Structure 1
């Protein structure tokens, strides 16, 4: 594969800087991304209003650090994944609402530095095992095509997984740049499409888990550090817990699927322990957005389980329940067990954090919306490098967060919760929503009329972040497409 000269220069710069750190001092990095798991779905984060047992994640928290104010860059999955791997907001690209599908073209540009690309240039073996959902060169209608522009062209040495969500065709495992079996039949999990004969949704989480355990075991026999990105397909739809997990949670199949997800995470942690890699491995367990409406939330709430804890909203929404997520880390060599951080962070911060870990300096055209949280992992304050944090809803609506203040630049949820983005009710409400999250984390009292100066200042700040092409110090960059700060939605009666 031929890389653009600009990317080669960036990688060489990163690699040369990274040589300042001894190879054996670089930690392994395991980033596990649950799919549609709410902040309140983790027992230790929601002890009073959570009814799902998550012993493995809870144990991880007791051995490491809980971040209480961690956010995805969007309240739906493709945009968040883009932010994780590039350190840049998705809305700077062509994708300014909704998500990609299984046959869509790549969202990450070929010449953009990614987290695996950065780490690979600094001596890491990089692997992605799980749900990609960032587009690839996948010809539709061919039973067994060669796949181009997939994860192995965006910094990963290897990839085993599926192209998009588990309810999006094609329904088949991909190993590198080929399907493990040709697409010879048609299947349906909410959506209907081409499938491999032996592919079953219920087998996906066990297969990903086994592959991850095997990868860790193999890497333990080498001298190289590794980066494992493990984006799971659960507890996203189709909600298909295996037989051994069915009826375990007592609140329904979604709870069962969360418990199976917790167990899968536990198996990966056990593999690190068994391989003797525990102490010098940074493990991050988080989610790509909040719990989905498809989980039958009202029924769970009647049984006492609130997947967003005390937060408002769900997946797709601009409210906190849409994008504030579990974020639990363990790194025994660096992180004090049982610690907690209340600073506001974003999943985009993986890029800058990885760069600081390996001693690399990011070029101006990489990680434009990423800040290193390495100081926080070591129990120190994060330097004020980011102007503010920007949130994004499924329908493209914006919010901006600075300190205790959160300004939402629309009258509605931006997603599935009331007031919906296309509802008549939304037309009767103020065009801005301002919340004091220190005193009102549930976003119940709109203070926009009482603090017009805060609304004006934060609006201006968001305008600057959009115009500068970045939210961190550095040379201004260009966005990939024009950006409308306020969206106009058609009202449905």
Structure 2
């Protein structure tokens, strides 16, 4: 029987055999990535202060493993997505802060291996259905010529989706290298921009779900394994639940949209279960960064729903709420149902993990910052990584090393107050040091009391940036010079 690896932010079914080795040589791989879903938005991760019902993701948690100390490499989407597909920190590229816009130049360099290209070389069928947001090659201003760079150039056999976030134009569907309908009118989905006449934001989530279900059904009986990367554009702005879901939560449109996203993941999981390969399918469910303040922080917290759970900050910030995300893995043949890991892990670790599952090494010159999570999935307790690097929208660095977290900024490094300019005006120290074991909410800066820890972690961060990689391997270089300490933005 063919094994399947699924990575999603939602629902996974189980029947796990804990401690077993992987059951087949080439599992199917499906990765479902939510957009701006806060760790506190998933009820299983926030049972006391989460008010949104997420039964599909909760089911995955019950049938698989919850990883409670999981992080994106950045607190915004483009750099996180780069790391997911390449196993490399995005700040090693030209993107030192912020995100790409809809017509941004490709961020993944020509010839750089990705998870998709690696799996394609292993005989996989590969598809990306959803939000790309890693840059495309536009050959003309009228959107009529084929794209010169698309997911097809980075290991995917098939692509159907949108160029960037659902609130960033052009608003139109792309299939492989072409727009299915030329963007020729103006529409506003949170932002105004060029749009295809027939494109509507409210249709995106159900369309992607239908396409994903069809892909699973089409490929499940085949001999070749498949990799389905399903990066949803929800519950990111524009917040557009369908009429069927409006009012379901009792908490407003955002909670309705989260519930619809959760249900959509459940539909994909139903297709997987019906394929007869559920036992040999790995499902990983996660989000590209934390909850977005644009969805309304105070309104939700006043209603008793805390989208960052007990963590400080939100999307864009260097604090935990910006990049600590829900992560659930179901693989019934290997992962014990109802299991839980508190190990430090990152979404950047996908590349090394799937290589390990296939008993291969990542290609030379690839996955420089990725480590395998397979031992955790098999139930082993030994830590797979002792540290990881976080990055905010302003380009501020933080290093997590065991219980300690060092942030090389005075404020949030993002949108939460105080921002860097305000923090400097307030005379706050230029670095922050927290012991997360004792202070998970990052309230007590210990940089003055523990200068020894600050010095040790500064040295470790500097070396990680300088060396071009954080894993064993051959020489590696950053694409551009990298400055760790950023000047405060206005």
Fold conserved (TM > 0.5)?
A: yes
SS in 1 for 2:390: strand
Q: Which residue does the alignment assign to 1:28? A: 28
Q: Which residue does the alignment assign to 2:246? A: 246
Q: Distance in 2 between matches of 1:192 and 1:139?
A: 22
Q: Distance in 2 between matches of 1:426 and 1:352?
A: 43
The RMSD of aligned alpha carbons is: 1.5
Gaps of 5+ in 2: 1-20
Q: Distance in 2 between matches of 1:103 and 1:73?
A: 23
Q: Distance in 2 between matches of 1:387 and 1:54?
A: 31
Q: Distance in 2 between matches of 1:383 and 1:204?
A: 39
Cα distance 1:334–1:362, how it changes in 2: closer, same or farther (>3 A)? same
Q: Deviations over 1:428-465 (max 9, x none)?
A: 10111000111111101111111100000000000000
Tell me whether 1:225 sits opposite 2:225 in the alignment.
Answer: yes
Q: Which residue does the alignment assign to 2:429? A: 430
Q: 1:419, CA displacement in angstroms? A: 1.0
SS in 1 for 2:333: coil
Q: Which residue does the alignment assign to 1:420? A: 419
Q: 1:426, CA displacement in angstroms? A: 5.3
Tell me whether 1:388 sits opposite 2:387 in the alignment.
Answer: yes
Q: Distance in 1 between matches of 2:430 and 2:166?
A: 36
Q: Is the 8 A contact 2:410 2:424 kept in 1?
A: no
Q: Which residue does the alignment assign to 2:198? A: 198
Q: Deviations over 1:295-348 (max 9, x none)?
A: 101000010000000000000000000000000010111100000000000100
Q: Deviations over 1:394-437 (max 9, x none)?
A: 00000000110000011010111111122255551011100011
Q: Distance in 2 between matches of 1:162 and 1:488?
A: 33
Q: Distance in 1 between matches of 2:22 and 2:76?
A: 38
Q: Distance in 2 between matches of 1:127 and 1:156?
A: 5
Q: Which residue does the alignment assign to 1:262? A: 262
Q: Is the 8 A contact 1:414 1:420 kept in 2?
A: yes
Q: Which residue does the alignment assign to 2:186? A: 186
SS in 1 for 2:340: strand
Q: 1:24, CA displacement in angstroms? A: 5.4
Aligned positions, number = 470
Q: Which residue does the alignment assign to 1:283? A: 283
Q: Which residue does the alignment assign to 1:474? A: 473
> Post-superposition, which runs of at least 4 consecutive aligned residues in structure 1 deviate over 6 A?
none
Q: Which residue does the alignment assign to 2:463? A: 464
Structure 1 stretch displaced more, 202-211 or 178-187: 178-187
Q: 1:187, CA displacement in angstroms? A: 1.1
Q: Is the 8 A contact 2:22 2:333 kept in 1?
A: no
Q: Distance in 1 between matches of 2:382 and 2:118?
A: 22
Q: 1:249, CA displacement in angstroms? A: 1.1
SS in 2 for 1:263: helix
Map 1:11-410 → 2, pairs under 5 A: 25-139=25-139, 141-382=141-382, 384=384, 386=385, 388-410=387-409
Map 1:482-493 → 2, pairs under 5 A: 482-490=481-489, 492=490
Q: Distance in 2 between matches of 1:249 and 1:426?
A: 42
Q: Which residue does the alignment assign to 2:9? A: none
Q: Is the 8 A contact 2:186 2:192 kept in 1?
A: yes
Cα distance 1:426–1:354, how it changes in 2: closer, same or farther (>3 A)? farther
